[in-house]
């Protein structure tokens, strides 16, 4: 008795431990609604990070362009040693150490000159010893006007910042569309599962009924075999629907940046509204508010500004320079001297190099403009296609709802005839297949209606959580 009690306690403890170990798996399973899925995607999907880094590049380009208007301050130090006659004399002169002896004016030289020997070559001048020079310099370059190049760089950067903003919005809305597609895909797969379950239950009922009729001698064995084949097909369709559900969930987890080992479930289905009531209104919205189009337009504007940057090379430039030098024969700040200058330069000709660069920049800008027009045409076609497909799908859904009711009633009548020995199993299965098909078609059409609406919102730039 004691051993039995001890064994029971051991089993209970083991069961308790197993329950505790299983709790994290249960806790980790999370059910998220559409809003939570979108928010998780926009915070973790790498495409958002890519878009943010592009925007950051454009912002840094503007800062770089602004900095070109400010003075440039350069500090440098140069140490040199030479026994070159000219260099040594220059070093001493910069260090304010030059003397007459450096010119070779000694007693011997004076006597040679007094004797009229003007061809005399003073050795101290022509063959000086090596000399050190430590030059410390601070230089300030002040840009005044460079043909408008800096302004062009600023215009380019500003346009690219706006393009990056619009592109970021486009990425977010595209990801929202993908989340919606996967989210609704889960619900659609579950609707297929429900249809498949109904088909399996009906097929199982046919097998049971046929088996009973075979035993009664009302129908032959082939009828039962046919019913069993149909049951197998229905179970296969059910497994296929379950697989589609898992694929949709995995797609959603990938978008959200979740690992495949994490458990995820979705909350209720989402129905979104139309962005406008007529196709003409939607087309206007698509042309005026599509973020992808707006991004390409700003890219084209940036390319136009790049033409002005190249044209700046045809104009004169004017800049100021201020410099202070310290020269010493050892490390230190010895002799000090300053230089102030204003520099005006104008390139008279480069034999067509600048004009070719201008033409190349203009061609690049025209390419961007043509790409915008192409994208506009593509967007119009997407809107018209989605609109027409939506109208057809809405009519199909209405017809399919009626067809489901009719097929269900037809199946009931055929089954009644079969039980009375009037109809065959083939007729029953054909009728059931028709019912299964119209049910599945209705599920598919309802999914397509939601996707077409989402496509119209994506094209009009209104597929964000704040606008849904």
Q: Go through the chain and tell me how many residues it has.
A: 468
Query: Cβ distance 125 to 104 under 8 Å?
Result: yes
**Nearest in space to 445 (alpha carbons), one of 410, 402, 384, 409:** 402
pLDDT, residue 29, reads: 57
Q: Can you list the residues of the chain whose pLDDT is less than 70?
A: 1-29
Inter-CA distances, 384 with 281, 389, 418, 451, Å? 12, 8, 49, 14
Inside any domain, residue 422: yes
pLDDT, residue 114, reads: 78
Does pTM top 0.85 for this prediction? no
Separation between Cα atoms, residue 1 and residue 3, nearest integer Å:
5
Inside any domain, residue 199: yes
Inside any domain, residue 18: no
pLDDT, residue 21, reads: 43
Domain residue limits at 61: 32-72+146-316+351-460
Inside any domain, residue 312: yes
Inside any domain, residue 126: no
Strands 264-266 and 72-82: unpaired
The structural domain count of the chain equals: 1
Inside any domain, residue 77: no
Inside any domain, residue 386: yes
Separation between Cα atoms, residue 463 and residue 450, nearest integer Å:
12
Q: What percent of the chain has pLDDT over 70?
A: 94
Query: Cβ distance 325 to 337 under 8 Å?
Result: yes
Q: Which residues contact 289 (CB under 8 A, 6 or more apart)?
A: 460, 461, 462
Inside any domain, residue 170: yes
pLDDT, residue 112, reads: 77
Query: Cβ distance 394 to 456 under 8 Å?
Result: no
Q: Treating both helix axes as pointing N-terminal to C-terminal, what angle do 353-419 and 425-459 enclose, rounded to 10 degrees?
A: 150
CATH number (domain holding residue 236): 1.20.1600.10
**Nearest in space to 166 (alpha carbons), one of 8, 62, 301:** 301
Half-sphere exposure of residue 37: CA atoms within 13 angstroms, side-chain side: 30
pLDDT, residue 245, reads: 95
pLDDT, residue 228, reads: 92
Beta partners for residue 296, in sequence order = none
Count other Cβ atoms within 10 Å, centred on residue 339: 11
Query: Cβ distance 28 to 145 under 8 Å?
Result: no
């Amino acid at each position: 008795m004691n051993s039995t009690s001890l064994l029971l306690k051991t089993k209970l403890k083991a069961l308790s431990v197993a329950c505790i170990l299983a709790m994290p798996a249960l806790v980790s399973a999370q059910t998220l609604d559409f809003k939570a899925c979108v928010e998780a995607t926009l915070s973790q999907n790498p495409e958002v990070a890519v878009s943010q880094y592009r925007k950051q590049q454009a912002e840094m380009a503007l800062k770089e362009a602004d900095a070109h208007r400010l003075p440039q301050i350069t500090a440098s130090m140069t140490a040199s040693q030479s026994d070159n006659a000219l260099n040594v004399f220059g070093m001493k002169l910069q260090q304010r150490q030059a003397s007459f002896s450096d010119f070779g004016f000694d007693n011997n030289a004076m006597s040679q000159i007094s004797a009229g020997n003007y061809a005399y070559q003073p050795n101290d001048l022509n063959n000086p010893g090596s000399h050190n020079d430590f030059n410390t310099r601070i230089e300030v370059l002040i840009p005044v006007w460079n043909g408008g190049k800096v302004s062009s760089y600023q215009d380019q950067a500003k346009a690219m910042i706006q393009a990056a903003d619009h592109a970021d919005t486009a990425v977010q809305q595209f990801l929202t569309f993908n989340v919606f597609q996967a989210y609704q895909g889960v619900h659609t797969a579950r609707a297929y599962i429900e249809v498949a379950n109904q088909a399996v239950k009906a097929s199982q009922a046919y097998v049971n009924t046929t088996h009973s009729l075979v035993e009664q001698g009302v129908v032959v064995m082939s009828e039962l075999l046919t019913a069993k084949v149909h049951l197998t097909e229905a179970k296969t369709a059910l497994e296929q629907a379950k697989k589609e559900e898992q694929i949709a969930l995995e797609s959603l987890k990938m978008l959200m940046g979740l690992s495949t080992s994490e458990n995820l479930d979705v909350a209720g289905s989402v129905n979104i509204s139309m962005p406008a009531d007529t196709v003409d209104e939607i087309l206007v919205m698509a042309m005026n508010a599509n973020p992808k189009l707006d991004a390409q337009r700003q890219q084209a504007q940036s390319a136009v500004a790049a033409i002005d940057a190249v044209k700046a090379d045809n104009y004169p430039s004017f800049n100021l320079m201020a410099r202070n030098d310290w020269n010493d024969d050892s490390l230190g700040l010895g002799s000090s001297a300053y230089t102030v200058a204003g520099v005006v330069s104008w390139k008279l000709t480069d034999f067509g190099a600048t004009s070719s660069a201008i033409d190349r920049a203009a061609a690049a800008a025209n390419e961007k403009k043509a790409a915008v027009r192409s994208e506009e045409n593509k967007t119009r076609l997407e809107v018209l296609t989605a609109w027409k497909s939506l109208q057809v799908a809405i009519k199909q859904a209405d017809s399919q709802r009626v067809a489901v009711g009719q097929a269900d009633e037809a199946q009931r009548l055929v089954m009644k005839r079969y039980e009375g020995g009037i109809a065959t199993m083939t007729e029953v299965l054909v009728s059931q297949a028709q019912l299964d098909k119209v049910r599945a078609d209705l599920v598919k059409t309802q999914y397509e209606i939601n996707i077409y609406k989402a496509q119209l919102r994506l094209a009009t730039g209104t597929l964000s959580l704040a606008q849904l």
